[in-house]
């Protein structure tokens, strides 16, 4: 689709999210894990191709459903804390939040925040999802689309979690460059709102704990049946949004709406927990970038020259196991009961799981150097 036209895309109700993405469903973009890893480490940008979608067996899918039931209150609490922090911040600027989630891990979180505001305030806030790509920047066509319709000071960028902060840094740079070129948008704020911020990258977080957000367990089947985003010059022309694929063929396996419905059903029950989460002193919300420093130390310890081959946190480790070539997984022994899906994926791919006490994250996935 172009910047002026929308199409049926994704499996969420249309009111929950506006996808600012070009539909590339008819393009052959998938490459095997080994082919893709060799290409990435050989210099091809990861956004030019897609991994083959992982489809779990019954045992792994059962782990997802167990994790969803066990963590529903915790995720709902984090959504509530983030929702209230955003509402307070934007109210001080005279706006209601306009949610702009980062596709695709941020998309379910944007849907949840929109549902939260409907449930607690009876307000239907806008929610767009757009692409940002490490090393390529934000989709400026999509950002312009949003800013043509809403005040810059109302925009709230949303994602699921932080690792070592690469996307927050990418967003900071993109917003700085955008405002320099568009001074009328000086109110644009690039600080991410995330449910889990173990990396210490943003003040707008539900928790600093590295806990499992179950949407990290799967790929498109928990993210509206949409792939990760794609940017290639031969596919994305001037005036077009970044691209993605809609996997309509997986509709029978789709749990995207079950995920958000389950979490949203807990909003009323966790009200007291949300209030408690909001009592965290501002000093404890300060940005520290501690995660980035910790990963640098891990990389040195394991002789990793490219820090991008070390992926910290539950969400990022899961991604390594789903679509990269993993070398080993470092895990904190005291977090093993919460990492059953990580252990299952590692066993399925014959990846060593190395108990590592005192990790600053629950786990860290290390990617094998193939070049």
In terms of domains, do 231 and 321 share one? no
pLDDT of residue 371: 63
Which parts of 115-258 are beta strand (E)? 127-133, 137-138, 155-158, 193-196, 204-207, 243-244
Does the pLDDT at position 116 exceed 60?
Answer: yes
Integer-rounded Cα radius of gyration of the chain: 19
In terms of domains, do 74 and 136 share one? yes
In terms of domains, do 153 and 249 share one? yes
Domain span holding position 264:
14-285
**357 inside domain:** yes
* 8 Å CB contact between 339 and 304: no
Which parts of the chain are beta strand (E)? 18-19, 22-23, 30-31, 50-51, 98-103, 127-133, 137-138, 155-158, 193-196, 204-207, 243-244, 310-312, 326-331, 353-355, 363-367
CATH number at residue 354: 3.30.1330.30
Q: Which residues contact 221 (CB under 8 A, 6 or more apart)?
A: 55, 247, 250, 253, 254, 255, 256
In terms of domains, do 227 and 297 share one? no
In terms of domains, do 251 and 362 share one? no
Does the pLDDT at position 139 exceed 80?
Answer: yes
* 8 Å CB contact between 314 and 363: yes
**190 inside domain:** yes
**165 inside domain:** yes
In terms of domains, do 279 and 309 share one? no
| Count of domains observed in the chain | 2
Does the pLDDT at position 4 exceed 60?
Answer: no
Per residue in 145-199, pLDDT tens?
999 999 999 999 999 999 999 999 999 999 999 999 999 999 999 999 999 999 9
Does the pLDDT at position 2 exceed 60?
Answer: no
Residue 366's φ and ψ, nearest 5 degrees, are: -105, 130
- Distance separating alpha carbons of residues 25 and 332, to the nearest angstrom: 40
Model pTM above 0.85: yes
**323 inside domain:** yes
Question: ∠129-256-22 over CA atoms, to 5°?
Answer: 35
Last residue of a domain, one of 261, 285, 309: 285
CA 313 to chain CA centroid, nearest Å? 12
In terms of domains, do 297 and 278 share one? no
Does the pLDDT at position 1 exceed 50?
Answer: no
Question: ∠361-54-132 over CA atoms, to 5°?
Answer: 60
In terms of domains, do 122 and 191 share one? yes
Question: What 3-state DSSP class applies to 18?
Answer: strand
Question: Averaged over 320-326, what is the pLDDT?
Answer: 91
In terms of domains, do 211 and 98 share one? yes
Per residue in 64-110, pLDDT tens?
999 999 999 999 999 999 999 999 999 999 999 999 999 999 999 99
Cα separation values, 17 from 83, 100, 196, 283, Å: 16, 9, 22, 34
- Distance separating alpha carbons of residues 137 and 259, to the nearest angstrom: 29
β-partners of residue 102 are 130
In DSSP notation, 255-322 reads -HHHHHHHHHTTTTTTHHHHHHHTTS-GGGG----HHHHHHHHHHHHTT-S-GGGEEESHHHHHHHHH
**126 inside domain:** yes
**97 inside domain:** yes
**pLDDT averaged over every residue in the chain:** 93
Last residue of a domain, one of 235, 251, 285: 285
- Distance separating alpha carbons of residues 68 and 263, to the nearest angstrom: 8
In terms of domains, do 98 and 241 share one? yes
**9 inside domain:** no
* 8 Å CB contact between 179 and 143: no
Count CB atoms within 10 A of the CB of residue 368. 14
Per residue in 239-285, pLDDT tens?
999 999 999 999 999 999 999 999 999 999 999 999 999 999 989 99
Last residue of a domain, one of 260, 285, 310: 285
In terms of domains, do 139 and 80 share one? yes
In terms of domains, do 278 and 309 share one? no
Strand pairing class (127-133; 137-138) = antiparallel
**253 inside domain:** yes
């Amino acid at each position: 689709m172009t910047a002026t036209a929308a199409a049926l895309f994704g499996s969420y109700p249309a009111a929950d999210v506006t996808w600012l993405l070009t539909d590339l469903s008819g393009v052959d973009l998938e490459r095997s894990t080994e082919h893709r890893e060799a290409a990435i480490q050989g210099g091809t940008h990861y956004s030019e191709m897609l991994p083959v979608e992982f489809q779990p067996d019954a045992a792994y899918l059962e782990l997802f459903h167990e994790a969803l039931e066990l963590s529903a209150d915790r995720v709902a609490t984090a959504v509530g804390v983030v929702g209230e922090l955003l509402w307070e911040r934007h109210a001080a600027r005279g706006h209601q939040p306009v949610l702009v989630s980062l596709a695709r891990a941020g998309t379910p979180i944007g849907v949840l925040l929109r549902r939260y505001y409907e449930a607690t305030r009876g307000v239907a806030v806008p929610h767009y999802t757009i692409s940002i790509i490490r090393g390529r920047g934000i989709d400026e066509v999509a950002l312009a689309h949003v800013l043509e319709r809403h005040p810059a000071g109302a925009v709230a960028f949303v994602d699921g979690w932080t690792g070592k902060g690469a996307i927050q840094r990418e967003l900071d740079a993109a917003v700085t460059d955008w405002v320099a070129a568009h001074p009328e948008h000086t109110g644009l704020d690039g600080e991410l709102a995330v449910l889990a911020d173990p990396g210490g990258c943003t003040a707008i977080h539900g928790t600093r704990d590295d806990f499992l957000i179950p949407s990290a367990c799967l790929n498109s089947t928990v993210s509206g049946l949409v792939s990760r985003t794609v940017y290639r010059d031969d596919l994305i022309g001037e005036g077009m949004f970044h691209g993605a694929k809609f996997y309509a063929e997986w509709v029978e396996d789709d749990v995207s709406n079950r995920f958000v419905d389950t979490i949203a059903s807990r909003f009323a029950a966790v009200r007291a927990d949300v209030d408690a989460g909001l009592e965290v002193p501002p000093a404890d919300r300060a940005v520290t970038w501690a995660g980035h420093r910790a990963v640098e130390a891990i990389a040195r310890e394991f002789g990793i020259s490219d820090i991008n081959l070390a992926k910290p946190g539950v969400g990022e480790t899961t991604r390594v196991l789903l679509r990269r070539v993993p070398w080993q997984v470092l895990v904190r022994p005291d977090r093993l009961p919460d990492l059953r899906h990580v252990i299952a994926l590692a066993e399925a791919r014959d990846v060593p799981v190395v108990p590592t006490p005192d990790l600053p994250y629950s786990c860290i996935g290390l990617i094998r150097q193939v070049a």
